[in-house]
């Protein structure tokens, strides 16, 4: 059970170029909005035709520009949950579900629909129209409708973004149950690193239409390879970096030289997460003297914005502060320990 995608698509100034493989996992496509995530799903579903490339699901070729294969969406047997759910507004809940089983014997279809209605807790809503349902119910209906077609892969386009924060967590828990039960490959498009972390096993990072390969979700957060992956994983501190001799690098934006190893070939940037920066008493190895610009109290932490000698401020997040908070203008010694530094291409 696998998905192999390697496609190119141009649309005006925008060009999408993505390749990845995923097998029997929940695979995330992570990227900022407008980066081509939804377009990728639409290409796989067949409602958009790529310019070049190949799409394969479970060994079945859905699209191959060289062999001139381009199956219709109807032939592809892939399930796509649209961001707005795309429920048929003129049909009832039951009608929407029965439509997915068109061509099957009526009594069998009725039985399957009744089971889905029970499984997705839509009892009593059979005669309602989609616009009479809550956001969560609409999503459950859309998912039920997709599962009735027994798709080989499941694709979810920002499944939680249309819901308010109160519903979102409940729906996310339900989604987890569903993904656990679904045996095929799932592709999940999102702009939220938290959702990737919680829901996905592997991930492809998309940056301005470019995305290549897949990596375990864990390594996106522990050891991202590129700056865009690093930024999408939520890291806010980065500087250009140059390799020096003896396991040292120069970080001009922070105005410092740091020790770290091993230094990858093609090093371009160094980054460190805000909560990985620690406070040191005095200047020393990997310690940058900074001037406090701002002290911000967040819900469960304190954020310091500190001006580096290089000009780019560092964001420092301190979870529990059991000392007097520094005041703006004071000098702080920030320690960027070698094992916490992320070296990026």
Partner 1 sequence: MDLYPLYNALRIAAISCVIVFFLGIFFAHWVAKLPRVLKGILDVVLTLPLVLPPTVVGYYLLLAFGPNRAFGAWMMSAFHVRLTMVWYSAVFASVVVAFPLMYRTARGAFESFDPTLRDSAQTLGLSNSYIFWRIQMPYCRQGILAGTVLAFARALGEYGATSMIAGYTPGRTATISTTVYQLWRTNNDALAFKWVLINVAISFVVLMAVNLLEKRERREAR
Binding site for partner 1 (CB under 8 A): 42, 45-47, 72-74, 76-80, 82, 84, 86, 88-90, 99-100, 102, 129, 131-132, 145-146, 149
Closest Cα partner for 51 from 22, 15, 4?
15
Minimum CB separation from partner 1 for residue 145, in Å? 7
- Of 59 and 89, the one with the shorter C-beta distance to partner 1 is 89
Coarse DSSP helix, strand, coil percentages of the chain, rounded to the nearest 5 percent: 25, 35, 40
Helix, strand or coil for residue 335?
strand
189 with 156: CB under 8 angstroms?
A: yes
In whole angstroms, what separates CA 101 from the centre of its chain? 32
- Give the nearest distance from C-beta 31 to partner 1 in angstroms: 20
Give min distance, CB of 129 to partner 1, in A: 7
Instruction: Locate 301 and state its tokens.
Output: 């932490």
- CA gap 60, 57 in Å, rounded: 5
Name the minimum Å distance from CB 203 to partner 1: 23
* 240, two tokens: 């250009």
Shortest distance in whole angstroms from residue 177 CB to partner 1: 23
**End-to-end Cα spacing for the chain:** 32
Nearer to partner 1, 100 or 205 (CB): 100
Question: In the complex with partner 1, which residue's Cβ is closer, 84 or 331?
Answer: 84
Question: Least distance from C-beta 74 to partner 1, angstroms?
Answer: 5
Nearer to partner 1, 126 or 201 (CB): 126
Contacts of 124 (CB under 8 A, 6+ apart): none
Min separation Cβ 42 and partner 1, Å: 7
Q: Is 142 exposed, middle or buried (0-12, 13-18, 19+ CB in 10 A)?
A: buried
**Short-list 33, 43, 55, 56, CA closest to 11:** 43
Edge-to-edge strand order for the sheet containing 302-307?
278-280, 331-335, 287-297, 302-307, 314-318
Q: Which residue has the tokens 């579903």?
A: 45
Nearer to partner 1 by Cβ, of 98 and 200: the residue is 98
Distance CA 190, CA 117 (A): 27
Is the Cβ of residue 4 or residue 77 nearer to partner 1 in the bound state?
77
Smaller CB distance to partner 1: residue 69 or 99? 99
> Pairing between strand 314-318 and 269-272?
unpaired
Q: How far is the CB of 107 from partner 1 (least distance, A)?
A: 20
Which tokens belong to 110?
């009725």
* 146/306 with CB nearer partner 1: 146
């Amino acid at each position: 059970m696998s998905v192999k995608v390697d496609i190119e698509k141009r649309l005006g100034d925008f060009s999408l170029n993505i390749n990845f493989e995923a097998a029997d996992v929940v695979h995330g496509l992570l990227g900022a909005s407008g980066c081509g995530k939804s377009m990728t799903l639409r290409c796989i579903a067949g409602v958009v035709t790529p310019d070049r490339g190949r799409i394969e699901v479970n060994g079945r070729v859905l699209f191959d520009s060289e062999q001139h294969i381009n199956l219709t969406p109807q032939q592809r047997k892939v399930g796509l949950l649209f961001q707005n759910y795309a429920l048929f507004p003129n049909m009832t809940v039951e009608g929407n579900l029965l439509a997915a089983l068109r061509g099957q014997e009526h009594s069998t279809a009725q039985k399957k629909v009744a089971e889905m209605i029970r499984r997705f807790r839509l009892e009593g809503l059979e005669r309602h129209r989609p616009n009479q349902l809550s956001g969560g119910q609409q999503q459950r209906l859309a998912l039920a409708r997709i599962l009735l077609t027994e798709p080989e892969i499941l694709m979810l386009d920002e499944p939680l973004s249309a819901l308010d924060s109160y519903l979102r967590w409940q729906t996310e828990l339900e989604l987890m149950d569903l993904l656990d039960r679904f045996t095929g490959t799932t592709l999940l498009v999102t702009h939220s690193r938290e959702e990737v972390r919680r829901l996905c096993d592997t991930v492809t990072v998309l940056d301005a239409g470019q995305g290549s390969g897949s990596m375990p979700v864990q390594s996106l957060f522990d050891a991202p390879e590129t700056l865009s992956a690093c930024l999408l994983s939520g890291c806010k501190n980065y500087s250009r970096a140059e390799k020096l001799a003896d396991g040292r690098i120069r970080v001009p934006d922070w105005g410092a030289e740091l020790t770290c190893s091993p230094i990858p070939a093609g090093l371009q940037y160094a980054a460190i997460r805000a909560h990985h920066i620690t406070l040191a008493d005095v200047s020393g190895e990997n310690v940058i003297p900074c001037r406090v610009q701002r002290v911000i109290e967040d819900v469960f932490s304190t954020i310091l914005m500190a001006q580096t000698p290089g000009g780019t401020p560092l964001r420092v997040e301190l979870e529990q502060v059991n000392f007097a908070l520094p005041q703006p203008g004071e000098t702080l010694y920030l320690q960027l320990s070698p094992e916490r530094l992320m070296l990026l291409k």
